[in-house]
Amino acid sequence: MKKHNKLIYLLFILTLNFSCIEKKSSEKEVNSKFVKYSKTDTLKFTSGIRAIFQDSKGGYWFGIHNEGVSYYNGNSFEYFTTNEGLLDNQTRSIQEDKNGNILIATSKGVSIYDGKKFTNYASKTNEPTLEWNKTRGDLWFYAGEEGGINRFDGKNMNYLIFPKPKIYNPTDSYGVTDISTDKDGKVWIATYAALFNYDGEKLNVFDHENLELKDHEKLHIRSVLADSRGRIWIGNNGIGVLLIENDKTINFSDINGLINQDSSKNGNPSPAGTMEHVFAIEEDSEGTIWFGDRDTGAWKYDGKTLTNYTVDEELKSQMIWTIYKDKSNNLLFGMADGGVYKFNEKSFDKTF
């Protein structure tokens, strides 16, 4: 009887130890840290505002090029960096899940904030797969420069890879630069070298060939918008805006005379009056399309007329990283110089 009791005790100790080892192993993939934050009464950033998001409680989140994230609750600002548990200080996008958790895409992976702590997922948390339709979830994230995207289903961060176009240049990058969902639920994914469309079953590729680009026109996509009318707007760094409408692609910048005749059609600086380097696109509540250009500021297209705006003459750069429509239908413009501006129907007011 004593030997039997000793055996049971030994098995219990072994089971307990194994359970602890297994728990520690799983925690290596998802690292959680408790957050300590500081509050200030003004938004203090010197690098560009790359992401703006208003959460379900009405608070605003600001993702910064290399200084982390700030949250504004209506009275004060809180700051989160790697010191507080954020995976990386370069922020790419911000979203919210159905449980109110804030999901922050960084250059090294995704940080999920539950109001108390961060849970971090590295860019690649599983084996890459081409079988997109075997995954679920409507939360999509940048996943590095190697040609894949992260899709989160609430538990698993699935790493999905893009099929390479028929004509593949090894120097092309398929890192995700922007994501937009159309009115039918299809996801449009912008990468530097191609645009991808996923309808839940099939992944389609829009590259140099099927976008019918000219030989000297090189894709370098920085933004995409699926608007309320079913049009797809593609912002490039060099060849301006492409528009897909009724299965036909046109160079919107070119046909509107916004490509400089001497343009190198690459990342070189462009003069005033051009729209060649579009890093942000958004639609306002009236159906007007807005473009944020790296060199020439904001552009508004009401369906007939294009209007160019200087956001703030005192800024060193008129570059717009992001345009965001909040819950009150305000358009907020995140600038490379670090400020956030609101359009007041005539001009821009610095809001944050």
- The per-residue pLDDT for 141 is 93
CB 120 within 8 A of CB 135: no
Distance separating alpha carbons of residues 52 and 100, to the nearest angstrom:
16
For the beta carbon of residue 285, count every other beta carbon within 10 angstroms: 11
What's the number of CA atoms in the CB half-sphere (13 Å) around residue 257? 4
CA distance to 59, 145, 147, per residue, from 171 (Å): 41, 11, 12
Residue 208's Cα: distance from chain center in Å?
23
Name the token pair of 49.
Answer: 């505002």
pTM: 0.87
Specify burial of residue 205 (Cβ count, 10 A radius: 0-12, 13-18, 19+): middle
What residues have CB less than 8 Å from 328, skipping those under 6 apart? none
Query: pLDDT by residue (tens digit) across 5-34?
Result: 443 344 333 343 433 333 332 223 344 444
pLDDT at 90: 94
Task: Name residue 57's beta-bridge partners.
Answer: none
Phi, psi of 175 (to 5 degrees): -70, 140
Q: Which sequence spans correspond to the domains of the chain?
A: 211-352
CB atoms within 10 A of CB 223: 24
- Radius of gyration for the chain, computed over Cα atoms and rounded to the nearest angstrom: 23
Within the chain, which residues score under 70 in pLDDT?
A: 1-41, 125-126, 166-168
pLDDT at 144: 78
Instruction: Indicate the CATH number for domain 211-352.
Output: 2.130.10.10
Laid out side by side, the sheet with 102-106 consists of 30-34, 117-122, 109-113, 102-106, 91-96
Considering only CA atoms, which of 284, 293, 176 is closest in space to residue 227?
284
pLDDT at 41: 67
Residues 6+ apart with CB under 8 A from 161: 128, 129, 130, 147, 148
Q: Tell me the two tokens of residue 265.
A: 């059609």
Nearest C-alpha neighbor of 332 from the set 79, 72, 39, 46: 72
Instruction: Give the pLDDT confidence score for residue 125 in this predicted structure.
Output: 66
Kindly tell me the burial class for residue 241, based on how many C-beta atoms sit within 10 Å of its own C-beta (0-12, 13-18, 19 or more).
Answer: buried
Beta bridge partners of 265: none
The predicted pLDDT at position 44 comes to 80
- At residue 36, the pLDDT reads 47
Continuous segment of H or E residues that includes residue 195: strand 195-198
